[in-house]
Structure 1
Amino acid sequence: MKFLRLTSVFISFLIVSMAISAEPSERQAFVTALVKAAIARTEQNVTYDGSYFSIPYPNGDVPEHIGVCTDVVIRAYRALGVDLQVRVHEDMRRSFNAYPSKRIWGLTTTDKNIDHRRVPNLQTFFARHGETLAVSSNPKEYSPGDLVTWMLPGNLPHIGIVSDKVSAITGNPLIVHNIGAGPSLDDMLFSYKITGHYRYRPQN
C-alpha cells in the first residue's frame, strides 16, 4: 500500500515537472514565431497611412498596402492567430473608463474600426493583460518579442517589436516598426523617449 502511495506521488511529481518544463518551451516558441512574423512585415511594401477605415469584425484589417506603426504589431500577432482587434475591443467594451479614449479623443464609446490601431489603447491593453516591464537604458533588458512605445517629436506616440537581431555597432536590439517609410528593422531603441515596455504572450 505504501509502495502504491509512493508510486502515485512520484507520478504526480513527474507530470507537474513535465508541465513546468514544457511551459518555457511553449513561451519561447511563441516568441520565436512572433519575431519571425514581425520581421516578415519588413518584406512587405506598405505605405504609411493612418486614415480611418471601416473594417470587418473580427479579423478586420485596413488595405494590406497601407498601415502605421500599430498595424505592424496587429499583423504580427494576427499571423499567430491572435486578433488584437477583438481583444482590445472586448476589453474596452467591458472597461471603457480604463482606456484613454475619452481623455485623449473625447470619445464616449468603443469603435472596433480604430481602437486597436491607437498606441495609447494598445499600451493600456498590454498593461492590463500582459506584463509591464521596466523602462531601462540597458539594451539587455529588452528581449525578443517585447513591445516598446515611444513619444516622437510633436507628441506622436509610436510602437514597435523587439527583434532577435542586434546591431553590430551599438549592441542594441533592432526594432521592427513603421515610423513613416513602411515596416523596417532599425537600431532605434534609444532614439526617442521610451514611454512603455511590455510583454504580451496570450494563454489562449
Structure 2
Amino acid sequence: MQAIRVLFLALGLLGVSASAETYVVKAGDTLSNVARKFNTDPVQLMRTNGLSSSTIQIGQKLQVPGAAKSTQPANTIPMASKSGTSDRTGVVRAAAMRFMGIRYRLGALGAGGIDCSAFTQAVLRQMGVQLPRTARQQFAVGTPVTKSDLRAGDLVFFNTLGNGVSHVGVYLGGGQFAHANSYQGRTVVEDINQMYYRYRYVGARRVLPGS
C-alpha cells in the first residue's frame, strides 16, 4: 500500500496522470504528431516528460497524459474567446505546432524547408497578421514589450551572429518559444531561458491585435 502511495505521489509531481499511457517514438514521429494522436498539447507533453525542447528520438518513451486519441482534423486550430488569455495561448501553440519538425533551410518557406522569419510569418498569418520577410524587418513592427511581460504570440528576437537582430521565434507562454533552429536543422520548441538564448536575447514585439 505504501508503494502505491509513493507511485501516485511521484506521478502527481511529474504531472503524469494515473491513466497516462507510455508511447514509444517511431521513425518519422515528431512531438507535434504524437500530441495530435492523443489529443493533447505538445507543450504539455514536453512538461509531462520533463523535456527542454521538442526534439525526440526513435525508441524514446513518452508519457502521454489522458491517452485519448484525437478525432480532430490535424489542420484545425481551436478558436479563442475574445478576451481569454489561456484561449489565445492555445491558438498560438496550435498554430506553431502545425509547422513542427519541418527542416531548416535558409531563405525557404514551404514543404522543402523553412527559416526563422518564414516560420514566424507562417504562424502569425494563421491569426490574420502579415509580417515582413526578415527578422530585422519584423523587429521594426509591433509594440515593444519587456521580457517579464511576454505573452503567447509575441515575437522574440536574438542576436546570434554578433551583428544585431538575426533570429526570431514565437513565444508560446510558460517560458517556451517555437522557432526554426539552424543548429538542430528543423523547427523546434525550446526554453527561452536556456543560457544560449538568455545571453543573445535582444527584445520582443507584440503583433497580435487585442493582446
Q: TM-score if structure 1 supplies the norm length?
A: 0.52
- How far did 1:135 drift? 4.1
CA distance in 1 between counterparts of 2:136 and 2:106 reads 18
Give me the CA root mean square deviation.
2.5
Counterpart position of 1:163: 172
CA distance in 2 between counterparts of 1:188 and 1:135 reads 10
- How far did 1:144 drift? 2.2
- Does residue 37 (structure 1) correspond to residue 95 (structure 2)? The answer is yes
Counterpart position of 2:179: 177
Contact 1:39 1:163 (C-alpha < 8 Å) held by counterparts: no
Q: Percent identity?
A: 19
Match of 1:74 among 114, 121, 142: 121
Counterpart position of 1:90: none
SS of the residue 1:185 aligns to = strand
SS of the residue 1:117 aligns to = coil
Q: Deviations over 1:143-178 (max 9, x none)?
A: 3222210101343611111113x4xxxxxx121011
Equivalent residues, number: 124
Q: After superposition, where does 1:82-101 map in structure 2 within 5 Å?
A: 82-84=129-131
- Does residue 194 (structure 1) correspond to residue 205 (structure 2)? The answer is no
The amino acid of 1:75's aligned partner reads A
The amino acid of 1:33's aligned partner reads V
Match of 2:134 among 88, 113, 118: 118
- Does residue 143 (structure 1) correspond to residue 151 (structure 2)? The answer is yes
Task: With a CA cutoff of 8 Å and minimum separation of 6, indicate the structure with the bigger relative contact order.
Answer: 1
Unaligned runs of 5+ in 1: 1-21, 52-61, 85-115, 167-172
CA distance in 2 between counterparts of 1:47 and 1:119 reads 15
Unaligned runs of 5+ in 2: 1-80
SS of the residue 2:140 aligns to = helix
- How far did 1:179 drift? 2.2
CA distance in 2 between counterparts of 1:135 and 1:70 reads 20
Contact 2:176 2:190 (C-alpha < 8 Å) held by counterparts: yes
Which structure features the higher share of helix residues? 1
Match of 1:47 among 101, 104, 107: 104
- How far did 1:183 drift? 0.7
The amino acid of 2:190's aligned partner reads D
